[in-house]
């Protein structure tokens, strides 16, 4: 039995909380390297701080998917995990940017920051995953691409706001410099604002969306009583995963490997290439840190615009691959550009790759999944996002040494990885079960 069509407002409400969650994720992505560099981290060690976020994602998202597949309560199926994740994220966002303001030693401040980062990413992952699952649960095949496109739009809009917050706070007069080892107020207040918006958006989705009751869900997803009694074994699910799971996962590997290096090294790369400094206590470095937020915002704008172009491609794989090639060109071009405004071109191109990464993998994958284990499979698929980031983080110091310590070269490495992802797209067989 086919699920009924949803109105645009219903699809919007279903995804709106993702806007707030993505603000938190954007603040983390744009500022973690800046925060830990300010606290005193060595550049060769910066990538190691990025191991925790994807590691927590690999642990949390499959568990949330598996548990929520079996959860039915007054609050809903996926929403209890959404509420818990959002609540913890809000509390941690108030603490993380104060890591350098607690009169701790450098080592203690970084340890405290690491614990907060671990909790932040755990909670963000817990809050983020239910939105992907609810689309899979409630939206029919005909509208699924539209629903994920709306989610992508809200994701990029949230990213845009999160990325630009430090720049805006500096523009209105909030201090962008601070004593050595202390995070500037412009960053701290950005996290406060992001936390407030996040909880409002999550509550909006919570109050406007009613998940399907168990009987209705089983009817629309052809789940029998015997299916309900089956225990979910993640290893068995992986063994019997559709081929598309692994084929799309290979593309994901190269793409997320690339973006980990963007998040890790862009601040130092821009500071060095444009402002001629990598000294974290300098005004130029902190200005570069704000400008990176602007560049990431430009990336989000490019992603929103390119998302409107993607449906014009007659063949999905061609659109996917072309998008990743454009992203690769954007990454590589950053090495040769020394003007802060010309970097807009680079990050618009990077946004093209990001648009495809957000919309296409989940739309292609969910069409090959059954409703009974939808959450578990989406949680496992998140490992194709997390694992490449962990590998990239572990190799970051080694690769940085191989390129002579030049952090701008790490974005070239990211571009090469994106090109490999573009080639891997053509290995995907979309309708393979």
**Domain boundaries of the chain, sorted by first residue:** 9-219+234-427
Q: Is the pLDDT of residue 230 over 60?
A: no
Tokens of 105: 């030693």
pLDDT above 70: residue 231: no
pLDDT of 393 over the 60 cut: yes
A 10 A CB-CB count for 35 gives: 25
pLDDT of residue 286: 85
Find out whether 253 and 388 touch, Cβ atoms under 8 Å: yes
Instruction: Tell me the per-residue pLDDT of 56-80, one tens digit each, with 9 for 90 and over.
Output: 777 887 788 778 877 788 888 889 9
State yes or no: pLDDT of 224 exceeds 60.
no
**What whole-number distance in Å separates Cα of residue 114 and Cα of residue 48?**
11
User: Which of these ranges, 124-128, 142-146, 174-178, 285-289, has the smallest mean pLDDT?
Assistant: 142-146
Q: How confident is the model at residue 110 (pLDDT cuts 50, 70, 90)?
A: confident
Report the C-alpha gap between 114 and 209 in whole angstroms. 35
No. of H helices and E strands in the chain?
Answer: 16, 0
pLDDT at 361: 85
- DSSP one-letter string for 193-250: HHHHHHHHHHHHHHHH--PPPHHHHHHHTT--HHHHHSPP-HHHHHHT--HHHHHHHH
pLDDT (average), residues 128-139: 82
Please state the rounded mean pLDDT for residues 380-385.
82
Q: Answer whether residue 373 shows pLDDT above 70.
A: no
Q: How far apart are alpha carbons 339 and 292 in whole angstroms?
A: 13
- H or E element at residue 348: helix 343-366
pLDDT for 299 equals 92
**Does the structural domain 9-219+234-427 have CATH classification 3.40.50.970?**
no
Answer with the residue of higher pLDDT: 15 or 52.
15
- For the segment 263-270, the average pLDDT, to the nearest whole number, is 92
* Residue 174 pLDDT level (bands cut at 50, 70, 90): very high
In the predicted structure, residue 54 carries a pLDDT above the cut 60: yes
Q: What per-residue confidence (pLDDT) applies to 371?
A: 56
What is the predicted pLDDT for the residue at 368? 64
pLDDT at 433 over 50: no
pLDDT in tens, 304-318: 899 888 878 888 889
Task: State whether residue 393 is helix, strand or coil.
Answer: helix
What's the whole-number average pLDDT of the chain? 86
Residue 69: burial class (beta carbons within 10 Å; 0-12, 13-18, 19+)? buried
- pLDDT tens digits for 332-370? 999 999 999 999 999 999 999 998 998 788 777 766 665
- The mean-pLDDT minimum among 76-80, 208-212, 278-282 falls in 278-282
Q: Tell me which of 36-45, 80-89, 166-175 is least confident.
A: 36-45
pLDDT greater than 50 at residue 432: no
What is the per-residue pLDDT across 138-171, written as a single tens digit (0 to 9) for each? 888 778 777 877 888 888 889 889 988 998 999 9
């Amino acid at each position: 039995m086919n699920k009924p069509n949803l109105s645009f407002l219903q699809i919007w409400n279903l995804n709106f909380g993702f806007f707030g969650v993505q603000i938190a994720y954007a603040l983390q992505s744009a500022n973690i390297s800046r925060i830990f560099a300010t606290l005193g981290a060595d550049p060769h060690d910066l990538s190691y701080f990025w191991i925790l976020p994807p590691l927590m994602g690999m642990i949390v998202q499959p568990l949330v998917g598996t548990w929520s597949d079996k959860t039915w309560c007054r609050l809903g199926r996926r929403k209890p995990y959404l509420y818990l994740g959002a609540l913890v994220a809000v509390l941690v966002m108030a603490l993380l940017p104060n890591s350098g303001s607690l009169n701790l030693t450098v080592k203690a401040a970084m340890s405290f920051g690491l614990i907060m980062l671990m909790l932040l990413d755990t909670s963000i992952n817990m809050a983020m995953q239910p939105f992907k699952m609810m689309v899979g649960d409630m939206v029919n095949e005909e509208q699924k691409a539209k629903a994920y496109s709306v989610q992508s739009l809200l994701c990029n809009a949230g990213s845009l706001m999160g990325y630009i917050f430090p720049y805006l706070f500096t523009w209105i007069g909030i201090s962008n410099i601070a004593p050595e080892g202390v995070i500037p107020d412009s960053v701290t207040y950005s996290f406060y604002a992001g936390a407030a918006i996040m909880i409002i958006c999550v509550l909006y989705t919570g109050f406007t969306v009613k998940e399907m009751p168990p009987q209705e869900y089983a009817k629309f997803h052809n789940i029998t009583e015997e299916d309900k009694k089956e225990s979910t074994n993640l290893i068995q699910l992986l063994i019997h995963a559709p081929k598309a799971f692994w084929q799309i996962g290979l593309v994901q590997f190269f793409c997320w490997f690339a973006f980990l290096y963007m998040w890790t090294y862009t601040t130092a790369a821009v500071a060095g290439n444009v402002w001629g400094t990598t000294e974290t206590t300098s005004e130029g470095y902190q200005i570069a840190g704000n400008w990176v937020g602007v560049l990431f915002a430009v990336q989000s704008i490019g992603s929103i615009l390119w998302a409107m172009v993607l449906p014009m491609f007659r063949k999905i794989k061609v659109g996917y691959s072309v998008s990743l090639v454009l992203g690769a060109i954007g990454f590589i071009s950053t090495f040769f550009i020394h003007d802060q405004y010309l970097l807009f071109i680079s990050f618009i191109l990077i946004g093209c790759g990001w648009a495809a990464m957000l919309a296409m993998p989940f739309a292609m994958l969910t069409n090959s999944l059954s409703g009974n284990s939808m959450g578990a499979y989406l949680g496992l698929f998140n490992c194709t996002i997390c694992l490449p980031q962990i590998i990239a983080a572990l190799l970051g110091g080694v690769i940085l040494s191989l390129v002579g310590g030049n952090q701008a070269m790490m974005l070239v490495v990211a571009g090469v990885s994106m090109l490999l992802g573009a080639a891997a797209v053509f290995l995907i067989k979309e309708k393979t079960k």
